[in-house]
Amino acid sequence: MSTVQFNCTGCGKKLFNYDPATHYRRYKSPVKECPKCGRKYADPRCHEIALEGLPKDIFSIKAHFFLIILGAFVLYIGIVMFGKNQPGAINGIQLLMPAVITVLGVLFFVGGIVEVMSILTGIKQKKYDRLTMESKERLKNRDYAYTLYELGYLVPQEYL
Ligand SMILES: [Zn+2]
């Protein structure tokens, strides 16, 4: 994971660091304003669904099932590491690593199950339907659509 620094294209002010490879995406308006010079910019962490679509594995059970398996595996390693502590020799540092690994395993495992459940029950679909609708609503504002166009987005003619 390597982070990239994002600077204002107008005045060069450092705005934030972000990791382009991360799977974490925010679905809201990417249009923001530099607090220093007021120039508008597109936040690469934010995505306008109506223009950019969604990653194709977002509703994939298989992709999330992998997360559950990974979580179970990490959890298993954490528990094995706990078991390797010699009785009597246990101190805080020795317990820290297994504890961190175990917690990570549980997070992946439970997170994966929650995601799969929300896909199966349609809750996730509903959430993204709502986000897509909000995105389309934003684009109905011609000034906003034009700002995105100026910032380099492919905006369909119907919005301009
Ligand atoms: Zn600026």
- 39-90: per-residue pLDDT in tens? 999 999 999 999 999 988 899 999 999 999 999 999 999 999 888 866 655 5
Q: How far is the CA of 12 from the centre of ligand 1 (A)?
A: 6
Do the Cβ atoms of 34 and 41 come closer than 8 Å? yes
- 80-102: per-residue pLDDT in tens? 988 886 665 556 667 888 899 99
**Which residues keep their CB under 5 angstroms from ion ligand 1?**
8, 10-11, 13, 34, 36-37, 39
Q: How far is the CA of 22 from the centre of ligand 1 (A)?
A: 25
Please name the residues in contact with 14: beta carbons below 8 A apart, sequence gap of 6 or more.
5, 6, 7
Look up the pTM and report it: 0.77
Q: How many angstroms separate the CA atoms of 94 and 73, rounded? A: 20
